[in-house]
Amino acid sequence: MDDGSPTPPADLVASMDPTVQARLVTTRHAGPATARNTGARLAQGRYLVFTDDDCMPHEDWLRAIDRWISSSSGDAAIGGHTVNVLTENAYAAASQGIIDYLYQYFGGYSAARRFFTSNNLVVPREEFLSLGGFNETFALAAAEDRDFCERWLESGKRLEYVADVVVSHAHILSFARFNRQHFNYGRGALDLHRSRARRGGGSLKIEPVGFYAGLVAYPLRQSRSWRAAHLTFLHFWSQVAYISGYFFERLRRGWAIDATRSEPSLADNPGAPERTDSGSVRRIA
């Protein structure tokens, strides 16, 4: 799926082995949720396998997924292990470290709110479609994966982490881009909270102090070094940016959380709102 980028990768698809049933579909720029949902409707397999344009799946990625499918009951979605390959980029390392911490925390202490990012996600197709896919009404390219995972769990289905389903992630970040990324995550959290309110689950859920202390100190648990101290500061700063973005968006759109709007579905195929993320390729295998 190409989300309206200036140069769709037709040459990449054309260079693939002809026995691989690969198809490039280009859509108008409407954001990753719309692109992924479009791909899900066109896909014909039993499972949807999602990754992004700044990711490189390991060579045995699909084989590892196939091994999991063969040994599972088939009713779960899985999230794989994503590895930051820009090891010298502290901002990319900090962003991945935050995700790693969240996977550990929500996979253990708060499993009912577990989630996986959509750059390494496997979902049974029919169940994905019946749930409505990703929420295309979110104003930013942020939090729609968390929203989907919450709705998935609320429907009685399972989320499983599979460590040998590995994707390398190369997200080039500067401090300005890191700050904007987490500021926008905070802005996107408003849509997540409004989605929760519409489902009657309560909008704002604040984790205990130990959650935030653990998130900030996570790099120091991996290493006692100056680099770890730098990453610790970035983990702290990410939360400052996140909270700032959340309250900025809440003030911008009105303080009250609107619980009156209904959830969209793939069957409705609503017109996508204007998105603020840049055009990019979203791949679905």
Which pLDDT tens digit goes with each residue over 5-57? 888 889 988 898 888 888 899 988 888 999 999 999 999 999 999 999 999 99
Q: What is the pLDDT of residue 266?
A: 54
Cβ atoms 144, 134 nearer than 8 A: yes
Question: For residue 255, how many C-alpha atoms fall within 13 Å in the half-sphere facing its CB?
Answer: 0
Which pLDDT tens digit goes with each residue over 135-187? 999 888 899 999 999 999 999 999 999 999 999 999 999 999 999 999 999 99
Between CA 44 and CA 46 the distance in angstroms is 7
**C-alpha torsion 118→58→180→149, nearest 10:** 20
Strand partners, 188: none
In this structure, the number of other CB atoms found within 10 A of the CB of residue 173 comes to 19
Q: Coil, strand, or helix at residue 84?
A: strand
Low-confidence winner among 133-142, 197-206, 220-229 (lowest mean pLDDT): 197-206
Q: Which domains does the chain have, with CATH numbers?
A: 31-255 (3.90.550)
Which pLDDT tens digit goes with each residue over 46-88? 999 999 999 999 999 999 999 998 887 777 999 999 999 999 9
Portion of the chain with pLDDT greater than 90, in percent: 66
